[in-house]
Structure 1
Amino acid sequence: MDVLGIDIGTVSVKCVRSKGKKGVLKKAWEYPFAGHMEDLGPILEDIRQKEGTNLEVRIALTSTEILKRTFTVPVLPKEELKEAVKWSVTKILSEPAEEYIHQVGPLGTIEEKGIRKEEMYFIGAKRSYIEALITLFEERGFLNLGLITDICAAYTHVAEELHERRGFAILDIGGRQTGLYIFHGKRLHLVREIFTAGESFTDALIAGMGSTFEEAESAKLERGLDQSSVPFLLPVLERLSGEVTRTINVYNQRYNDRPCEIVYLTGRGSRLRGLLERLGELLPFEVRRLPLVFPVEEEFLPAFFLSLKGEIANLLPKERRKRAREGVIVRWAKVATAGLILVICLFSMKVLSDLRALDLKIKLERRTLETKRAMIPKDLADPKGLAEQEEMLKEAKKADGTFLLLLKYLSYSLPQNLYLKEIGFDEEKGKGRYLVEIRGIALGEKEMADAYVMKFLLLLEKDSLLKDASLSGREWKELKGRRVMEFTIRGACEAFLEG
């Protein structure tokens, strides 16, 4: 199944369709976006019509609805640490924690006034906001939601690809918001939202030049930071660089053993001509453009990396994540059952083909023997060996025909939520029938799994395919984190001979 990564920004929605765990790029495109939830409806409808809905959808948001905070707790034993984290989360939120979907994780160990503390991150959003977003997607047919997270999750993959040994920051200048993400190696240590971004430069030109929004936007893109626009844009640039400098300095004081030394610039707002050089003059750190070592344009990087499976925090409700895992188990069980039946059918077809070839060979030998028999006295002819060979062939054809009939029946009649693992088939000596052992798994809670198996057993008896059918064993096991019932049914199948 293809993955659709959707980066919902402040002024645009960027989409990347990819295939496989390694994210083989298939398509990338974007839509203008006013920033309101209701504006997503027409965008999702267009995606549904052009791309279909048989996709795993993974969403990253740039929104003030998502809270990102850091806090410290003392280094404590595991159980005491859990209680300290819970207490700290209640201090972050102004409402009961039950009304939020959130995740908490470690950022690193720091020392404050001689005391070692664990710095933690908090990422969360109101349950009502997440549920409204899920409903919006499901109403358009996108039922397979795999991830809802903050945009910073995508940049953890970018950090892995940079292979930077020093502490560094990624400065993502968007339309209405700038994200500052500080890493050391592959690990994210600080997230900061700065509300000086691309449209701040446009607003400065509108105020300074008295132009319309369209005129200011056009002038910004054409001129950049040239002599005519610098008097209007420089205060905005100084405000942005001041916020970045203060944030990194605070980080370096807290983590003086792994300071941030370099800033990588990215985002559509960073394409302003002359911005890289001006920031290099204003920031007391090395400033570079984020190297494009990826198969997409720079603005599509977050959406592209959503197709990979790593994540910082998944804000999907737990019950929906469980449903997604159950769907994976069911799909794998169906594939396994279909594969087993296919392998058995192919094997049986080969056996049948070999038997037919043997039958033809016997017929040819029989004609040869009859010819030779006519040439010798009748009392010297001995047909006993040939008769025994013909009898063995007849028995083999009977067994194979019976087994194929059993497979056809099971492939059409197996109830929902039951899947085959193994079929045993052996002749019962002297009774002209075959002993059958069917092993499989049943999905569902205990009562439902029992009901599915009993329904199957009654169906076998009703259709008279198996005589003396009985449930000879059942056992509960773990399969990909889910409890399933393994069952065994035994019975006897009457012989069947085609033709």
Structure 2
Amino acid sequence: MDFSLSTLSEKFKQLASSFSVKDGESVLGIDIGTSSIKIVQVKEVKGSAVLETYGEIALGPYANAEVGQSVMPPPEKIGEALKDVLREANATAKVGGFSVPLSGSLINVITLPTKDHADLATMIPIEARKYIPVPITEVALDWFVIPDEEAKFLSPQGGAAKSDHSTDVLLVAIHNAVLAKYQLVTEAAAITPRFFEVEPFSMGRASYEHTTAPAMIIDMGASSTRVYIIEFGIIDVSHTIGRGGQDLTLSLAKSMGATFQEAENIKRDKGLSESEVGSAALDFIFAEARRILLTYQRKEGKAVSQVVLVGGGASLKGLKEVASRSFDARIVIASPFEKLAAPAFISDVLKGAGPSFASAVGLALRALHQ
């Protein structure tokens, strides 16, 4: 398998796949979360990525839970859910890319005292042992050379100059246990995985316009909110806030004396406009994200160009206004479907659904060129 970690710089090395995309072939982007599975099917037509279909299915019912709840069904059940959403969306592709959560991987930027790529291939497996807190035999290891022009921007202002004879390398390891789980899922769904990609990178590919300044991505999931600061395709900061959309629903249910499902429906229909309870819960998440951002800015001497909101929670009505109270940077609600050609009459629907599909769209875009 291969793993893509470069999303902002075309100069980052791409791994060769054992598959190749045929002209006009349909491919899938598959994002398996804790509360739902999102799929996007695209194909290339005259140089443009064309949306063919997309779909989402809740995982709660596959684990005897409610729609919107965070669950951990066994791989066979996830595979069953994947088959169901592919059927419901009339998806026909049998190959695609899968997202891997950052929690299932280990990522480091390391500096090695050589410019010779042959030396790097020998040194990296040995050097990796210093950075990976598990036996090398328990992970799938990969690495990418960071070009010098990008590497110099990644150093903190005032930091020590890098030697002309050294090389910065992006090192990634994905736990074999994670890949084994995905293998069971893909077998159950009869889908061939073309590649696996660490989630923030597929999100970044589809969520915002890249500049030379770093960007903060806030991924609002069901069970937690993940915060990333990404610069030149490198994750400078990653942090998990232990609250997500599920907590917001539970707060609403408690305050209104409603069931989880009733509160989930109210949250989706009315958003934050009529719920001070929901607004207070989100204020906590954004206050934590702001603290992370300020710590980064003090340490690195850099300001982010934008704060990008992705994930299911980012679709809430009124969210952008709540977020703007915590950040000075521009707030962007991800619109990943804008990267794809699609009928104009569904543009509003796609815009509303977009934040949930950031990772799936990013995976599909990469799958076209894999």
- With over 3 angstroms needed to count, the CA separation of the structure-2 counterparts of 1:89 and 1:221, relative to structure 1, is same
Partner of residue 28 from structure 1, selected from 41, 54, 57: 54
> Equivalent residue for 1:267?
311
Alpha-carbon distance in 2 for matches of 1:188, 1:22: 27
Partner of residue 77 from structure 1, selected from 114, 139, 146: 114
> Equivalent residue for 2:249?
202
- With over 3 angstroms needed to count, the CA separation of the structure-2 counterparts of 1:216 and 1:87, relative to structure 1, is farther
Partner of residue 9 from structure 1, selected from 28, 33, 38: 33
Alpha-carbon distance in 2 for matches of 1:47, 1:224: 26
Aligned pairs for 1:237-316 (under 5 A) are: 237-256=282-301, 258-291=302-335, 293-295=338-340, 296=350, 297-298=353-354, 299-309=356-366
Alpha-carbon distance in 2 for matches of 1:116, 1:26: 49
- Kindly provide the CA deviation profile for residues 432-465 of structure 1, in whole angstroms up to 9, marking residues without a partner as x: xxxxxxxxxxxxxxxxxxxxxxxxxxxxxxxxxx
- With over 3 angstroms needed to count, the CA separation of the structure-2 counterparts of 1:8 and 1:221, relative to structure 1, is same
Alpha-carbon distance in 1 for matches of 2:168, 2:202: 21
Letter in 1 for 2:84: D
Range that drifts further, 161-170 or 108-117: 108-117
* SS of equivalent to 1:29: strand
- With over 3 angstroms needed to count, the CA separation of the structure-2 counterparts of 1:137 and 1:289, relative to structure 1, is closer
Partner of residue 18 from structure 1, selected from 23, 42, 45: 42
Report the TM-score when normalising by structure 1.
Answer: 0.52
Partner of residue 97 from structure 1, selected from 107, 132, 136: 136
Deviation, 1:54, is 5.8
Greater RCO structure (CA 8 Å; 6+ sep):
2
CA contact (8 A) 1:10 1:62 kept: no
Aligned pairs for 1:422-461 (under 5 A) are: none
Alpha-carbon distance in 2 for matches of 1:167, 1:112: 14
Report the TM-score when normalising by structure 2.
Answer: 0.68
Alpha-carbon distance in 1 for matches of 2:228, 2:279: 24
- Kindly provide the CA deviation profile for residues 51-70 of structure 1, in whole angstroms up to 9, marking residues without a partner as x: 58762221113474x12444
> Equivalent residue for 1:124?
173
* SS of equivalent to 1:307: helix
Letter in 2 for 1:176: S
Q: Percent identity?
A: 22
- With over 3 angstroms needed to count, the CA separation of the structure-2 counterparts of 1:182 and 1:303, relative to structure 1, is same
Q: Structure 1: where are the runs of 5+ without partners?
A: 312-324, 326-499
Deviation, 1:89, is 3.8
CA contact (8 A) 1:62 1:151 kept: yes
CA contact (8 A) 1:17 1:26 kept: yes
> Equivalent residue for 1:141?
190
Letter in 1 for 2:35: V
CA contact (8 A) 1:180 1:193 kept: yes
> Equivalent residue for 1:115?
160
What's the RMSD between the two structures over aligned residues?
Answer: 3.5
Question: Higher Cα Rg: structure 1 or 2?
Answer: 1
CA contact (8 A) 1:171 1:178 kept: yes
CA contact (8 A) 2:41 2:93 kept: no
* SS of equivalent to 2:365: coil
Does the alignment pair 1:192 with 2:238? yes
- With over 3 angstroms needed to count, the CA separation of the structure-2 counterparts of 1:111 and 1:284, relative to structure 1, is closer
Structure number with the higher helix fraction is 1
Does the alignment pair 1:158 with 2:206? yes
Q: Give the number of equivalent residue pairs.
A: 304
Deviation, 1:8, is 0.8
Query: Which segments of structure 1 move beyond 6 Å, counting only runs of 4 or more?
Result: 79-84
CA contact (8 A) 2:222 2:312 kept: yes
* SS of equivalent to 2:366: coil
* SS of equivalent to 2:96: strand
Alpha-carbon distance in 2 for matches of 1:90, 1:10: 31
Deviation, 1:266, is 2.7
> Equivalent residue for 1:396?
none
Deviation, 1:281, is 1.0
Alpha-carbon distance in 2 for matches of 1:74, 1:102: 17
- With over 3 angstroms needed to count, the CA separation of the structure-2 counterparts of 1:116 and 1:247, relative to structure 1, is farther
Letter in 1 for 2:289: V
Alpha-carbon distance in 1 for matches of 2:367, 2:58: 28
Deviation, 1:240, is 1.1
Aligned pairs for 1:57-76 (under 5 A) are: 57-62=96-101, 64=103, 66-70=104-108, 73-74=110-111, 76=113
Deviation, 1:236, is 2.4
- With over 3 angstroms needed to count, the CA separation of the structure-2 counterparts of 1:18 and 1:52, relative to structure 1, is closer
* SS of equivalent to 2:197: strand
Alpha-carbon distance in 2 for matches of 1:236, 1:121: 36
CA contact (8 A) 2:39 2:56 kept: yes
- With over 3 angstroms needed to count, the CA separation of the structure-2 counterparts of 1:203 and 1:306, relative to structure 1, is same
> Equivalent residue for 2:65?
none
